[in-house]
Amino acid sequence: MKTSFPKQDIRVLLLEGVSQTAVDVFQRAGYSQIEYHKKSLPENELKERIAEAHIVGLRSRTQLTADVLEHARRLIAVGCFCIGTNQVDLGTAERLGVPVFNAPYSNTRSVAELVIAEAIMLLRGIPQKSMQCHRGGWAKSANGSYEARDKVLGIIGYGHIGTQVGVLAESMGMHVIFHDVETKLSMGNARAAASLQDLLQRSDVVTLHVPETPSTKMMFGAREIAAMRKGAVLINASRGSVVDIEALAEALRSEHLAGAAVDVFPTEPKSNDDPFVSPLVGLDNAILTPHIGGSTLEAQDNIGIEVASKLVRYSDNGSTLSAVNFPEVSLPEHPKSRRLLHIHKNVPGVLSRINELFSAGNINIDAQFLQTDAEVGYVVIDVSAGEDQADELKAKLATIPGTLRSRVLY
Ligand SMILES: NC(=O)c1ccc[n+]([C@@H]2O[C@H](COP(=O)([O-])OP(=O)(O)OC[C@H]3O[C@@H](n4cnc5c(N)ncnc54)[C@H](O)[C@@H]3O)[C@@H](O)[C@H]2O)c1
Ligand SMILES: O=C(O)CC[C@@H](O)C(=O)O
């Protein structure tokens, strides 16, 4: 069958060692051109490889900037095999007609479990005690060691991860308070704090679970750290840009904070072969982990299946359900029709031009699906047409002013 992109020609570029389960999903769906890289690529190589790719899969290291996306002339979709999508210029991707998908839930439990473990470790002063043992010391003492029971946990960002942390913490007898910019339903006995300041003043453990956005960049600086109780501990497994790392280092050195656990950093090594540099290195009261909050085999395998399935569904069927930057449509299969896709700038008159084109050609529309957002309109048209006719229609659709992409799906 004549389609814009026959499956055997669709090139899938998978970066950063995404789980083998993703490769399996593509292969089972009939995609054979899969280029797999265990690491992220240097920018020049990325631009070269992305120029050939129709589908790209990445994790948090690969930066899909506007400049990189300009090189991606064949790109039809991007998959972030993680929760965060801040590494992709989502606006540019949308304006190029490229939907971006992620896995909003699959690693949330893994992060929550790590945070709970770290809260206990920090409350007991284990990082310092462990370091002393490594150096041949023996600090057998209860000083500075506390149970988690009856302590206050303050959660900043009460979303998928924050709520799970709260539920697990309550099962250990902690009192949970949270701060969010949205009104949130409390889980269990958790209560919204009156303000961020209120949360900071009341919490023994503060944990950050906000996304990277303009409003969260450096939201946790010297002022917020100073507002925390003396001897409290801080956990950041959200994004490195959220915390002023120099201010945190200072608070750990002065012991205003008893400890911190940090999984994400303002600058992270591009690969496991690159050195890790941070003002927190060498501080005994800091647990430092290499951005592995969501890195469990269970989470990565589930993410591989979830994101690859969304990419296959878009590529095979046109559905954009749960895309993070694109009008969402969930489409039924109409195997007896030809399916055409049209992605356009959301300006007046495009839909009527599309419909004129079909009525002028006396083509019966079996079904039509339209969704728009401020930037882009996405129309899916199922028609009773022959192969060549569909091809012709696609060419005509491409000439409508404002068109970003047009495609015969099947
Ligand atoms: N360390 C890791 O490996 C790892 C793994 C998964 C996710 N993450 C990070 O964790 C973040 C949170 O994940 P999630 O699944 O809970 O996301 P989510 O979208 O479900 O929750 C985020 C919450 O933060 C709130 N928020 C946004 N801006 C805020 C602000 N300025 N102040 C207070 N609250 C604010 C939102 O309203 C939302 O409730 C992700 O965006 C990602 O960056 C890290
Ligand atoms: O796997 C990664 O690289 C990122 C993990 C995490 O930060 C996420 O956003 O899901």
Is ligand 1 within 6 A of the CB of residue 393? no
Tens of pLDDT, residues 117-136? 999 999 999 999 999 999 99
239 has catalytic annotation: yes
pLDDT(374) > 70: yes
pLDDT digits (tens, 9 = 90+) for 314-355: 999 999 999 999 999 999 988 889 999 999 999 999 999 999
Residue 17: pLDDT over 80? yes
Summarised one tens digit per residue, pLDDT across range 168-203 is: 999 999 999 999 999 999 999 999 999 999 999 999
68-91 pLDDT tens trace? 999 999 999 999 999 999 999 999
- What's the pLDDT at 387? 87
Q: Rounded to whole angstroms, how far apart are CA atoms 213 and 181?
A: 12
Q: Please state, for a pLDDT cut of 70, what percent of the chain lies above it.
A: 100
Q: For residue 24, what pLDDT is reported?
A: 98
Quote the Cα angle for 391-393-394, to 5°. Answer: 65
Pairing label, strands 403-408, 338-345: antiparallel
Q: What is the pLDDT of residue 335?
A: 85
Output the CA 342–ligand 2 centroid distance in Å: 32
Q: What is the pLDDT of residues 39-70, one digit of tens each?
A: 999 999 999 999 999 999 999 999 999 999 99
For the chain, state the CA radius of gyration: 25
- Residue ID of nearest Cα to ligand 1 atom 2: 293
Is the CB–ligand 2 distance for residue 304 below 6 Å? no
Q: What is the mean pLDDT of residues 252-258?
A: 98
Q: Is the pLDDT assigned to residue 5 strictly greater than 90?
A: no
User: Average pLDDT, whole number, for the chain?
Assistant: 96
> CA 116 from chain center: how many Å?
22
Query: In angstroms, what is the span from residue 380 Cα to ligand 2's centroid?
Result: 32
Q: Is the pLDDT of residue 377 over 90?
A: yes
> Relative to the CA of 110, which ligand 1 atom is closest?
5
Going along the chain from its start, the domains and CATH numbers come out as 6-102+296-326 (3.40.50.720), 107-288 (3.40.50.720), 327-409 (3.30.70.260)
Q: What are phi and psi of 377, to 5 degrees?
A: -115, 140
C-alpha 156 – ligand 1 centre gap (Å) = 9
pLDDT at 3: 75
Instruction: Decide if pLDDT at 2 tops 70.
Output: no
